[in-house]
Amino acid sequence: MTRVGRIPYVNCYPVYGAIDRGIVPLDGTLVDGVPSALNHGMAAGTLDVSVVSAVEYARDAHRYLLLPDLAISCDGPVRSVLLFSDVPAESLGGRRVIVSRSSMTSVALLELLFEHVWRCRPEFVAGDAEISDLTGFERGGARPARLIIGDAALLLGSGSAPAASAVEPFRHVYDLGAEWKVWTGQPFVFAVWVASRALPVSAALRVHASLIESRDWGLAHLPTLARQAHDATGVSLAACEQYLSGLDYGLSYPHLAGLTEFFRRLVSAGRVPDGTLAFLPAA
């Protein structure tokens, strides 16, 4: 049975919603995990097909084939990849910035923004992306800046759930999707779906067809998925609808241009090897 990775965040609801509801069959078994765990599973061969961080593909492209027309992208604000700080980003040089252990792509993007946009070099410290980590500070007390991703960022950024209201607001909030758009003028691709090159093409094609069909159902039923997201997180229904409708789940020419620009900058910085995009062939 093909092992298929899934991130249990709201941003994946549109791709897996119809599969979860039994509307679209999947010739495989779903395996949940945060992005870093799914990256590791694909690299270790314990997953056959999965959504992974875009950087994971660039880091080890020879292992994978990209699934066509399937990604998690934004063309402006993403709303779930946020840097929170009590001082402007330009003033964070030499200061601690706690970055999520869960997402290679978000951390790599943040490093590029500090280097080329904010032009300072903070001290990056690996940490967790939980709102509970932000409580317990004295009001007005010093606290490090934090990169928070996924549902925790959506909660804190919207301020519409009880857990978020317990945190004293940060003075500065940077949406990394919006920052990339201002900097480059391009969409940003945070995650892609890949198949292991060791998986028979026929099996990968069956999973891909199911994911595309489920994705199309999800995009046609965003209000239903927004309600599910509201029930799961406590974020307001309006904020969930805005969030899901602001993401793109395709991989069009503009998205590919943004992805290759990101990879070009990572190659120039020596963070990933140079390579090419290789796609699962059509049936």
pLDDT for 131 equals 54
Name the one residue in this structure whose structure tokens are 């960022």. 153
CA 205-210-35 angle, 5° bins? 90
- Per DSSP, 89 falls in state G
pLDDT band at 136 (very low <50, low <70, confident <90, very high): very low
* Cα–Cα distance measured from residue 7 to residue 170, given in angstroms and rounded to the nearest whole number: 27
Tokens of 3: 């092992």
Q: Is the dihedral of CA 267, 273, 276, 282 positive or negative?
A: negative
Residue-wise pLDDT for 103-123, tens only, equals: 899 999 999 999 999 999 999
pLDDT for 134 equals 56
Q: What is the 3-state secondary structure (H, E, C) of 160-224?
A: CCHHHHCCCCCCEEEEHHHHHHHHHCCCEEEEEEEEECCCCHHHHHHHHHHHHHHHHHHHHCHHH
Residue-wise pLDDT for 172-229, tens only, equals: 999 999 999 999 999 999 999 999 999 999 999 999 999 999 999 999 999 999 999 9
> With 80 as the cut, is the pLDDT of residue 140 above it?
no
Name the one residue in this structure whose structure tokens are 């945060």. 34
Residue-wise pLDDT for 150-170, tens only, equals: 998 999 888 765 655 566 889
> With 60 as the cut, is the pLDDT of residue 141 above it?
no
Q: What is the pTM of this model?
A: 0.93
- What the chain holds in terms of domains, given with CATH numbers, is 3-73+189-268 (3.40.190.10), 81-184 (3.40.190.10)
pLDDT for 138 equals 38
- Per DSSP, 147 falls in state E
